[in-house]
Chain A
Amino acid sequence: MDNFALKVEDLVVYLDDLIAVRGVSFVINKGERWGLVGESGAGKSLTALAIMGLLQDGWKTSGAVLHDGMNLLQASDKTLSARRGRTMSMVFQDPTTALNPVAKVGKQITWILRHHMHVTQKDAYEQSLVLLNKMNLPRPESIMDSYPHQLSGGQRQRIMIAMALACYPELIIADEPTTALDVTVQKQVLRLLDAAVTERNCGLLLITHDLPVIAAMCENVAVMYGGRIVETGKISDVFTNPRHPYTKGLLASQPTLDNIDLDGGTRLPSIRGSVPPLYAMPDGCAFAERCDFATQKCKELPELDNQIQRVACWNPVAEARKGA
């Protein structure tokens, strides 16, 4: 029995000569929570889709994605679809488009249970009710009998989480699960996801560009830029002592209630320039042209170093003195 819920080794995702993910490796143990941070174009969503085997036609992969004793990248469609929703499941960003608009919610949850767990309709219905109850949804019976459009965004996202949890998966991938929700609902949904992952002891891969969400939910984080992981380590290390200039810039440029003077007059430090497009990704460090610390050396590609808090940078930010 493997100890890990997911092991990604040197994953590359490409479409002809466009390379979106350029060699990503990480291991998620059971009960461990990983955050994947990056902006659009960093390759984080394609990484998730590649793991789930949901890439669109034309995208190709190399490397290995080990889960449930097999390499998912070489698995057939049939074995993959037996795993999806069963041993690994995904919560998508926009619950409006991820749910089937012409089927009642109850039917959609019972479908999963009947398909994977081979239970009777009656058992499936009862288990679905239990799930919805756990999601703190009021009057689960009437929600089972509603169509997705009759529910609010927060309710729909809770149903997505309930569906993801239905078959006790080993791994949950949540791709921007709260981005489409109102801020006041965001916390409730995160709380539910947090409780569910703790209770089931499953691995969680949380993908978002929202740093505070990652900080609140995960133990480990991988920061992606230009298709590569540029920094990875424990949340408490990476977010308090970022070693990559990009991570540092990203953390500093977030307006939070702590770093701005509420009487006005502060100025946010910002990262200049913008993310290079896929077709013009430099050979060396992808962040070099936006980086204040870039040198000639940055034209070569940096590899992740071997420290506990790993960073791929030729000139990592000097460590701030502890307790200074």
Chain B
Amino acid sequence: MSTSDTPIIQTVGACQEYKLPRTSLFGQRPVLHALKEVDFYAMEGESVGIVGESGAGKSTLTRILVGMEKPTAGSFKFKDRDVWSSDEEFKHEFRRSVQMVLQNPRSSFDPRMTIAQSLLQPLKGLKIGGDHQARIHQVLDQVGLGKDSLKKYPYEFSGGQLQRVAIARALIPDPKILIADEPVSALDVSIQAQVLNLLNDLVKDLNLTLILITHDLSVVSYVTSRVAIMVDGKIVETGSPKSLFQNPQSAIAKSFVDSVLTVGKGIEGESLFENV
């Protein structure tokens, strides 16, 4: 597959404002500027990470990228076409091409549906033709689950397995872009590596564009090749994980890099096990 020079998904000067509840009887409702002129892009087949503290605007940016919210100013483009002013046919292609994996797989499945029913939903909702059963078997195979999972209910799975099912559900409409919002932070430590490896493999095999939202810098540098740091509704620094770690430019990037704890380092970054 050839990659063109134009990004597959892009926001240009995107702003998002939310009106807050009235604080007094008179005067305007206060406005929260959740995003302030954000320029974000991802090329085809690229893995991009978005890092930031809670309240930095990561989730707002994600909601714009999946088309759940229209930015109050600026534009949002998919394949170099503005999504919100395009025709229905293009919107349908967009919806099919951008899929999402959420943080907690336990709360992202309908507990009353079997996995087979859950996996059918995107195919039905997006009115995708073809052999549905064959497609479901194919994606289950891609995430390393057997056909016996289909009859089970979500509660019968462990967290790691259910996150695999969530990834399978995202892959079913054959998306171009996978957006993963903290995909491993709700999982057990010994399972996290499995899921991260799976994401890495899928991105390579299917030539997916991956947008990974997380607060964990180690995870982001393991999976992605470019990281954007968000603070206060703005992207303050972008770069490869390597350049970011070795030479952070902004103060906030420095504080992020400093805050990463590794086994063998003390709180102040001193080396703990000197005799080794």
Contacts and interface: CB of A to CB of B under 8 A. Distances in A.
B193 A257 contact: no
B161 A253 contact: no
Contact of A182 (B53, B196, B217, B273): B53
A94 interface: no
Interface in A29-61: 39-40
B260 A275 contact: no
Interface string B236-276: 00001110010000000001101111111111000011011
Contacts of A209: 188-189
A158 to B, nearest CB: 15
A215 B260 contact: no
Contacts of B188: 39-40, 209, 274-275
Interface string B210-222: 0000011111011
Given A216-B265, A236-B273, A274-B160, A255 B189 contact: no
Contacts of B245: 257, 262
Contacts of B200: 267
A212 B263 contact: yes
A272 interface: yes
B194 interface: yes
Interface residues of B, number: 44
B97 interface: no
A190 B222 CA distance: 25
Interface in B111-161: 158-161
Contacts of A264: 225
A155 B66 CA distance: 33
A274 B161 contact: yes
B192 interface: yes
A258 B275 CA distance: 18
A254 B262 CA distance: 9
B31 interface: no
Contacts of A190: 267
Nearest to A187: B259
A90 to B, nearest CB: 22
B261 A187 contact: yes
A251 to B, nearest CB: 6
Main secondary structure of the interface of A (DSSP, over half): loop
B189 A260 contact: no
Contacts of B197: 267-268, 270
A44 to B, nearest CB: 12
Contacts of A246: 190
Given A184-B259, A262-B240, A267-B200, A240 B273 contact: yes
Contacts of B260: 183, 257
Interface string A192-218: 001000000000000001111101110
A39 B191 CA distance: 10
Given A239-B263, A268-B196, A274-B158, A184 B275 contact: no
Interface in A204-260: 209-213, 215-217, 235-236, 239-240, 246, 249-251, 253-258, 260
A277 to B, nearest CB: 8
Contact of B272 (A153, A215, A249, A267): A215
Nearest to B189: A209
Interface string A262-304: 1110111111101101000000000000000000000000000
Interface of A: 39-40, 153, 182-187, 190-191, 194, 209-213, 215-217, 235-236, 239-240, 246, 249-251, 253-258, 260, 262-264, 266-272, 274-275, 277
19 contacts: A39-B191, A182-B53, A184-B256, A209-B189, A211-B189, A215-B263, A240-B276, A249-B190, A251-B263, A253-B190, A254-B218, A255-B221, A255-B222, A256-B262, A263-B242, A271-B190, A271-B194, A274-B158, A275-B158
Given A39-B190, A216-B265, A270-B197, 17 more contacts: A40-B159, A183-B215, A183-B217, A183-B256, A209-B189, A211-B189, A212-B261, A216-B267, A253-B190, A254-B189, A256-B263, A257-B245, A260-B222, A262-B240, A268-B193, A270-B193, A275-B158
7 closest pairs, A vs B, by CB? A270-B193, A212-B261, A253-B193, A262-B242, A39-B188, A255-B222, A274-B158
Interface of B: 53-54, 158-161, 188-194, 196-197, 200, 215-219, 221-222, 225, 240-242, 245, 255-256, 258-267, 272-273, 275-276
